[in-house]
Amino acid sequence: MVIHVFAQRPSISSRWLVFLLALYFFFVLNLPLIARLIDILGRLEAVRFGFVLSIPVFFVACLNILLTLLAVKYLEKGLFILLLLLSSAVSYAMFNYGVVLDRDMMVNIMQTHAGEAKSYFNGSSLLWFLLAGALPALLVARVRIRHDGLLRDLCWKALSVLGSLAVIGVIALCYYQDYASVGRNNSHLRQLIIPTYYLSSASGYVYNTYLKEELPYQTLGEDAQLAPSRPERKPTLLVLMVGETARSMNFEHNGYPRGTNAFTREQAVVSFRSVTSCATTTAVSVPCMFSRLSRTDYDAEQAARQDNLLDVLQRAGVNVRWFENDGGCKGVCARVETVEFRPEDGGPLCDGDYCKDGVLLEAVQRAMAAAERQDTVLVLHMVGSHGPTYYRRYPAEFAHFQPDCRRSDIQNCSTHELVNSYDNTLYYSDYIISQVVKLLDERRPDWNTGLLYLSDHGESLGEKGLYLHGMPYALAPEQQTQVPLMLWLSSGLSREARLDRQCLQHQASQGHYSHDNLFDSVLGLMGVKSKVYRPALDMLAECRTG
């Protein structure tokens, strides 16, 4: 290898640049993969030394093939620079937070608003990006890449690819059983390989979003109607609160030893202890929980091309309004009246990037006061416990647990500080919920009122080295999939829906539920009759008397 460092611009042959980049991608940008491999190999009872030594050779050979194929004259420099910059950002997220960029996470990233994106920028991420991405990208931009003519370049490419394939073949002959064993028992390793996995996820997202033929729209619940109303019956007013990033295990109602539910503690709230989410990202979980589809058969495109719970409620004659404070309803509210809180509009509870959930209270109070005597569902989409800047989700007077973590690179806070900040977000959310319950309680003379709170997914707070959320569902820990679900009903709505409270308490403590139950439980609670309603998925049905 010859690099002319004394020339005005250093130069290097294309094949040597590709090889150096293959080394760099594995030993630097694939640190998350290396760390995971070290953990896996360290737990094996017996491992062959030659197998361990072959692993970096195997991956460098594979990366050399990929980068050789991308090394097209006039295009290679731009492609390599882009890959370095993107891969350094991906590497930081994976190494520090345990995030995996699968297709669901790609959807989440593409739907992220500016305020949310800014929360991930901090000194640690910037330094990582500069050293691991920008600096090598600058070197690639500066260097002059030499080519030996079309024919010789093609010959060298062929030799490089064939040589790499030969190396992979020799390794396979010697250690196939070792690779097969580790691979079968740890299939998630492929999701950690940079840049192949995130490029595959991105291409899948582009195809599904822009290239795939659109499905015809499917209308659901065309027969939906409210149960016949008695003359003396009061209309129903239900507030459906969609939480953000709240995990069940940190709820006092569910056995957590801290007072995170200090405000709803005395409000006769029923808390369901075992509830699982549809996914580990907002972009998937929110559409899924309102969809007729279950988690196991959920398809984002199919869900987007058919009616959801809100559409069926409207078709039955229910007045539906959506209040958005989390950057977007992910298409769920596309066909209902929507009020969106814009952080850039200012106000005492908005900081330009986010609005704290207190903004929902005045809006829902006005909506209740203006509501006509018609069955009504108000959906409040909260910003809740959105990380990593948990400390920005609650006002100073709700910083109940101290000391809290007041930075976005949360992996550099102590566990105690981080949990305090997260618990403060739940403490503040509980206050918001309690205030909505009070507003509903005040409406009891004229309305049958109720509240249902359900979070979209959970959150990791450093357990097993994981932070935030977004792990592939098959690998996700319970911290990311176990979510809180709380129900409050006025005595009037309990009677109207024929619900036995003692039975509800028992079901809440002993039953196992999921986002799949939301669709039918809300239809049942609102008294909507339709063929699309499935009693078996109504988690309240077993407690309905008469």
44-76 confidence digits (pLDDT tens): 878 889 999 999 999 999 999 999 999 998 899
Distance CA(107)–CA(32), nearest Å, equals: 22
Higher pLDDT, 228 or 311: 311
Place 1 in a pLDDT band, splitting at 50, 70 and 90: very low
Q: Which of 246, 281, 270 has the alpha carbon at shortest distance from 260?
A: 246
Structure tokens at 312: 């069926």
Q: From the CA atom positions of the chain, what is the Rg in Å? A: 27
Predicted pLDDT of residue 8: 66
Tens-place pLDDT, residues 305-352 = 999 999 999 999 999 999 999 989 999 999 999 999 988 887 899 988
More confident site: 203 or 381: 381
Question: Which band of pLDDT confidence, cut at 50, 70 and 90, is reported for residue 536?
Answer: very high
pLDDT of residue 476: 92
Is it the case that residue 393 has pLDDT exceeding 70? yes
DSSP string, 134-201: IHHHHHHHHSEEE---HHHHHHHHHHHHHHHHHHHHHHHHHHHHHHHHHHHHTGGGGGG-TTHHHHHH
CA angle centred on 339, ends 338 and 341, rounded to 5°: 140
Identity at 350, one-letter amino acid code: C
| pLDDT value, residue 75 | 92
Distances (CA, A) of 417 to 113, 383, 404, 505: 27, 21, 4, 34
pLDDT score of 546: 66
Tokens for 457, please give them. 């997914």
Percentage of the chain lying above the pLDDT 90 cut = 73
pLDDT score for 495: 93
The stretch 398-411 carries a mean pLDDT of: 94
Length of the chain: 546
Average pLDDT over residues 80-88: 96
462-481 average pLDDT score: 91
CA separation for the pair 379, 453 (Å, rounded): 10
**What proportion of the chain, given as a percentage, has pLDDT over 70?**
98
Cα 35–chain centre separation:
23
The H-or-E segment that residue 240 falls in is strand 236-243
DSSP 71: -
**94-105 pLDDT, tens per residue?**
998 888 888 778
Asked whether residue 6 carries a pLDDT value surpassing 80, the answer given is no
DSSP state of 497: T
Q: pTM of the entire structure?
A: 0.83
**CA 530 to CA 197: how far, in whole Å?**
43
Delineate the domains of the chain, giving CATH numbers in brackets: 11-210 (no CATH), 237-543 (3.40.720.10)
pLDDT band for position 5 (cuts 50, 70, 90): very low
Give the mean pLDDT of the chain: 92
Residue with tokens 């042959």: 13
Mean pLDDT of 108-125: 77
